[in-house]
A and B are shown apart, each in its own frame.
Chain A
């Protein structure tokens, strides 16, 4: 189990990575929706 300092470093990085993942997934699905509408 990571100690408190490791969690303090990892937690903001994980937040950013999850945000990036959401951005990629939503973008890809939006591109598909756009192409399907054409």
Chain B
């Protein structure tokens, strides 16, 4: 027996939950001024370097995410092998778990910064990424939603995370960090 299509209004709950998370992270970050002291990551001379390398790993996984999604949706013309969907899911999980660690380092170790455009964009997209990721995960639990919802939420997750990485690790690699 096929399932009835799910009303789009079902999305309200996940969107509220994800929105609440993003706002809560932002409010906490604005009110908490970190001193760059977090769980020590051995092998790195400071927090910024540790985050930059971890973000580089996330960036690689994010590229895998994008490519596998394009293959799954037929945008890259090739026969999708059976391992493509598991690769998409697992690269996404690993990217998310690593991003969580970086997010804690950023929010607790530094806080929500907005003294220039780059850090404001990074802080905002970082908080939004986690909220939108929650929305996407909850959307996945509901079969029968309209076909555009998953690509839209996946695209939003990708854009936010890529922007957060570009305005932090990307900037760090290009400029060598603060002088």
Residues in chain A within 8 A of chain B (CB atoms): 5, 8-9, 11-13, 15-16, 18-19, 22-23, 26-27, 29-31, 33-34, 37
Closest chain B CB from A21 CB (angstroms): 9
Query: Which of B38, B134, B138 makes the CB contact (< 8 A) with A30?
Result: B38
What is the number of residues of chain B that contact chain A, defined by CB distance less than 8 Å?
22
Dominant secondary structure at the A interface: helix
Say whether B38 contacts A34, CB under 8 Å: yes
Say whether B96 contacts A19, CB under 8 Å: yes
Stretch in B65-73, B102-110, B114-122, B167-175 with 4+ CB within 8 Å of A: B102-110
Say whether B108 contacts A27, CB under 8 Å: yes
> Which B residues lie within 8 Å of A23 (CB)?
100, 103-104
Q: Is B10 an interface residue (CB 8 A)?
A: no
Query: Which of B38, B97, B138, B143 makes the CB contact (< 8 A) with A8?
Result: B143
Identify the closest chain A residue to B3 (Cβ): A5
Identify the closest chain A residue to B40 (Cβ): A33
Q: Is B80 an interface residue (CB 8 A)?
A: no
Identify the closest chain B residue to A20 (Cβ): B100
A26 to B109, CA, bound (A): 11
Say whether A30 contacts B109, CB under 8 Å: yes
> Which A residues lie within 8 Å of B40 (CB)?
33
Query: Which of A18, A26, A37 makes the CB contact (< 8 A) with B104?
Result: A26
